[in-house]
């Protein structure tokens, strides 16, 4: 960890023994001559190991493993929002603010996260633990508004629920992910709204 609490920039990188086994498992899913198709899962694994962001040396190592030109890895890492190429808080708090979530109150979810963390969108907390950002649609519109923190979706949120969840994570807890409304998955809130006719 560097002086700001972020994972440090590094001159070289290699996967841990445990992750090397995971790399082998991932590569095993692709034909030997299509190794570079594994770039996304390998970058995810590398970013997780390196504390939330991908220094150049990490990208280079992934390129080497995939036997592909470095630029092929750089372009993927810089294109997708889920990869960070600058020092970033280890816990990533991402609030969806695309239209369906916005119509369902994502402004309030953003406000709850700002209030809990004491930072603005695009900022890291002083201790380098948390990074807050807006995100485009995460495919959970049925349960809007929602946020994605590390590996978990928290859905059917309001200001109070979102703030409670972020504060719990700040205390080191892992709140139950999924819909916070009590419904299962994306089943209708209340009662069925389709297939209402009686069976013949």
Neighbours of 177 (CB within 10 A): 15
- Burial letters for 31-69: b for 16+ Cβ neighbours within 10 Å, e otherwise? eeeebbebbebbbebbbebbbbbbbeebbebbbebbebe
Contact 74, 27 (CB under 8 A): no
Shorter beta-carbon distance to ligand FES: residue 47 or 106: 106
Query: Residue with structure tokens 């700002």?
Result: 114
Q: Residues in contact with ligand FES, total (CB under 6 A)?
A: 11
For ligand FES, the binding residue among 100, 105, 177, 178 (CB under 6 A) is: 100
**Is residue 158 a contact residue for ligand FES (CB under 6 A)?**
no
Binding mask 138-157 for ligand FES (x = CB under 6 A): xxxx--x-x-----------
Contact 8, 2 (CB under 8 A): yes
Question: How far is the CA of 97 from the CAs of 81, 133, 134, in angstroms?
Answer: 14, 10, 6
Left (φ > 0), alpha (ψ -120 to 50) or beta: where does 156 sit? left
Q: How far is the CB of 147 from ligand FES (least distance, A)?
A: 9
Query: Considering only 95-103, 113-121, 169-177, 180-188, which stretch makes contact with ligand FES by CB under 6 A?
Result: 95-103
For ligand FES, the binding residue among 43, 101, 149, 166 (CB under 6 A) is: 101
**Is residue 51 a contact residue for ligand FES (CB under 6 A)?**
no
Q: Determine the Cα–Cα distance for residues 38 and 65; give it in Å rounded to an integer.
A: 10
Binding mask 105-144 for ligand FES (x = CB under 6 A): --------------------------------xxxxx--x
Query: Considering only 30-38, 42-50, 94-102, 159-167, which stretch makes contact with ligand FES by CB under 6 A?
Result: 94-102
**Is residue 96 a contact residue for ligand FES (CB under 6 A)?**
yes
**135, two tokens:** 């995100």
Q: How far is the CB of 81 from ligand FES (least distance, A)?
A: 14
Contact set with ligand FES (CB under 6 A): 96, 98, 100-101, 137-141, 144, 146
């Amino acid at each position: 960890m560097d002086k700001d609490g972020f994972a440090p920039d590094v001159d070289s990188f290699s996967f841990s023994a445990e992750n090397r086994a995971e790399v082998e498992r991932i590569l095993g899913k692709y034909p030997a001559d299509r190794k570079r198709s594994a770039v996304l899962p390998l970058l995810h694994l590398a970013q997780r190991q390196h504390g939330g962001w991908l220094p150049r040396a990490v990208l280079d190592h992934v390129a080497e493993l995939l036997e592909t030109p470095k630029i092929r890895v750089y372009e993927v890492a810089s294109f997708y929002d889920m990869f960070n190429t600058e020092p970033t808080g280890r816990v990533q708090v991402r609030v969806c603010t695309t239209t369906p979530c916005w119509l369902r109150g994502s402004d309030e979810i953003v406000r709850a996260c700002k209030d809990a963390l004491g930072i603005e969108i695009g900022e890291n907390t002083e201790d380098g633990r948390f990074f807050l950002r807006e995100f485009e649609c995460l495919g959970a519109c049925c349960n809007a508004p929602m946020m994605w923190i590390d590996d978990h979706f928290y859905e059917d949120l309001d200001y109070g629920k979102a703030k409670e969840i972020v504060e719990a994570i700040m205390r080191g807890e892992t709140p139950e992910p999924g819909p916070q409304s009590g419904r299962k998955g994306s089943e209708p809130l209340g009662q069925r709204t389709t297939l209402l006719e009686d069976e013949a």
